[in-house]
Structure 1
Amino acid sequence: MPHTDAGFKDGVMVVRMVTATDVGMQRKNNEDSSVVVEEAGLCVVADGMGGHLGGEIASNIAIETVSEAFKNRPKNGQDERRDAELLTKCIKTANKEIYRRGNADAALKNMGTTIVAAVLAGDYVVTANVGDSRIYRMRDGKFAQVTEDHSWVGELRKKNLISEEDARSHPLKNIITRALGMEPTVEVDVKWEKVKSGDLYLLCSDGLTDLIPDAEISQKVAAGAGKLDVIATSLIEAANAAGGTDNITVGLCKVE
């Protein structure tokens, strides 16, 4: 269960970040990818799909494209809007490259990936997503999903036509309506908000959320008492105990 841990100080805000991933109980390959770029306050999780290592390649392209862009971003003069623009631009660049590679190599045809990303800098967080990987926020004991799922079942949930429990067991739960690599262009959902001391953001692939209800995820986040390694391990162990049907990846960002 590999971990990547980082902590940084940006002005008066101190943020700690960790990522962890596990292949799960039923898959041979791990097609999830994740990265932390400490100096930029960036955390990214991507869940790849496609045969012949296509998913692994797609998710790697996504995280590498985004992380390189933020490693090279200006150190001064950044704000919410600039970071949102940069995040959107590099995710769209990743989409083009994944689409190009998939069409250039028959073995990689139809490869793609979801992506969720969070940038914590100054006194704000910018979040972005494509697909059904998720970002949650724990603030003052209240746990809420920040992103919207780009999936067939997600649309039903948005319209209150099915419950969270029904969504997890729905036969079409894995049909996504948006992902990187599906089309030459992609729409990226991006938003930003002010952060508070104590805020915790969870980024995760659906290997977690397809098996563990939000209420249980919330309990495990709270029980970890801000210890990010403990929380990450607890979430992955819970998903594996529930069957581990997919790769499981989590990213955690804690504002001190």
Structure 2
Amino acid sequence: MHKSLSEALEIAVKTDPGMVRGHNEDAVFANPHLGLAILADGMGGYNAGEVASGMATTLLSGEIEEGLILKGAWEVEPDGEPYANALLRERIATANSAIYHAAQSQPQYAGMGTTLVLALFADNVVTVAHIGDSRLYRLRGEEFVRVTRDHSLLQEQLDSGMLTPEQARLSMNKNLVTRALGVDPEVEPEIRSYPVLPGDIFLLCSDGLNDMVEDEEIGLTLQTLSANLELAATQLIQMANDNGGRDNVSVILVKVLRDFAAPRGWWSRFLAWLK
């Protein structure tokens, strides 16, 4: 029987300005009932980054919720594309346009933009959309892997062999992204889907975490504290701050508690909708 997503997913959300920045330009949103988690790391002068990331999470959460009322994320479009992919691509384009036009029309917001990492859970699958260098990781058993690949100058230098991983750790170019939401009239998000298993833990984070804490340490912390997501999220932010906290740091942890296969057939969907 189909279980409510909120019974299948446990979510913990934490954001912190860090030890150096005066204000927080990260924005986070999570809704276990929708199976949706969104994290954005804003950029721009004064409070413009804060505006861009806030617009991104507010617009996307509302637009995606509206889209999910119309159709289940697991359903398929007439052209064969999963509805989840089409929905995310369309709504991200709408948010990009809104942020871009705000930046164009208001001088104090000129040049603002934001990274984005978004996870939508449905039918034992997570659909991930990302732009920039905010990341999504997965812990499955003892295996901790980075799922997203940064849209950044540093990642391009690594891919081309210009830098070794050791050199990349010391690079001064860590924060130069090659793609961002709201900077250009159009942007192409990377959207991919992955099967999900009970017990999986997904981590969405801004670079304020992974620039300060090695992936191996992040993975070990999640393994050790997997039974307490709130404590794990608090501990990850504390580790980033203990190591210097040079940037805002945000984390969203999503733990898959059980199977959440989608209802099949119109009657099952109607019953699920009534719940």
TM-score, normalised with respect to structure 2: 0.86
Q: Which moved more, 1:89-98 or 1:239-248?
A: 89-98
- In structure 2, relative to structure 1, the CA distance for the partners of 1:164 and 1:250 (3 Å cut) is farther
Structure 1: tracts of 5 or more residues without a match: 1-7
- In structure 2, relative to structure 1, the CA distance for the partners of 1:160 and 1:216 (3 Å cut) is farther
Which of 31, 34, 40 is equivalent to 1:40?
Answer: 34
5 Å-filtered alignment, 1:151-230, equals: 151-230=152-231
Name the amino acid aligned to 2:238. Answer: E
5 Å-filtered alignment, 1:141-160, equals: 141-160=142-161
2:4 aligned residue? 9
* 1:211 CA displacement: 1.1
2:51 aligned residue? 57
Name the amino acid aligned to 2:191. Answer: V
Name the amino acid aligned to 1:127. Answer: V
1:79 aligned residue? 74
- Please tell me whether Structure 1 or Structure 2 has the larger radius of gyration of its CA atoms: 2
- 1:34-57 deviation line (CA, Å, top 9, x unaligned): 001232100010000111210000
TM-score, normalised with respect to structure 1: 0.92
1:131 aligned residue? 132
- 1:28-85 deviation line (CA, Å, top 9, x unaligned): 0100000012321000100001112100000011111110022222275431711111
**CA distance in structure 1 between the aligned counterparts of 2:175 and 2:73, rounded to whole angstroms:** 37
Identical residues among aligned pairs (%): 39
| Residues 1:98 and 2:99 are matched in the alignment | yes
Structure 2: tracts of 5 or more residues without a match: 76-81, 258-275
* 1:156 CA displacement: 1.9
Which of 9, 15, 18 is equivalent to 2:12?
Answer: 18
- 1:111-158 deviation line (CA, Å, top 9, x unaligned): 100000001122111001000000001112101111110000011223
Name the amino acid aligned to 1:184. Answer: P
- In structure 2, relative to structure 1, the CA distance for the partners of 1:230 and 1:57 (3 Å cut) is same
- 1:144-175 deviation line (CA, Å, top 9, x unaligned): 11111000001122345434443232011111
Name the amino acid aligned to 1:132. Answer: D
Q: Is the 8 A contact 2:135 2:205 kept in 1?
A: yes
Q: Is the 8 A contact 1:113 1:181 kept in 2?
A: yes
**CA distance in structure 1 between the aligned counterparts of 2:220 and 2:228, rounded to whole angstroms:** 14
Q: Secondary structure of the residue that 1:74 maps to in structure 2?
A: helix
List, as ranges, runs of 4+ consecutive aligned residues in structure 1 with deviation greater than 4 Å: none
Name the amino acid aligned to 1:35. Answer: F
Q: Is the 8 A contact 2:96 2:181 kept in 1?
A: yes
Q: Secondary structure of the residue that 2:55 maps to in structure 1?
A: helix
Name the amino acid aligned to 2:5. Answer: D
Q: Which moved more, 1:188-197 or 1:82-91?
A: 82-91
Name the amino acid aligned to 2:157. Answer: L
- In structure 2, relative to structure 1, the CA distance for the partners of 1:24 and 1:226 (3 Å cut) is same
2:115 aligned residue? 114
Q: Which moved more, 1:110-119 or 1:35-44?
A: 35-44
Name the amino acid aligned to 1:151. Answer: S
Name the amino acid aligned to 2:41. Answer: D
2:270 aligned residue? none
**CA distance in structure 2 between the aligned counterparts of 1:239 and 1:26, rounded to whole angstroms:** 12
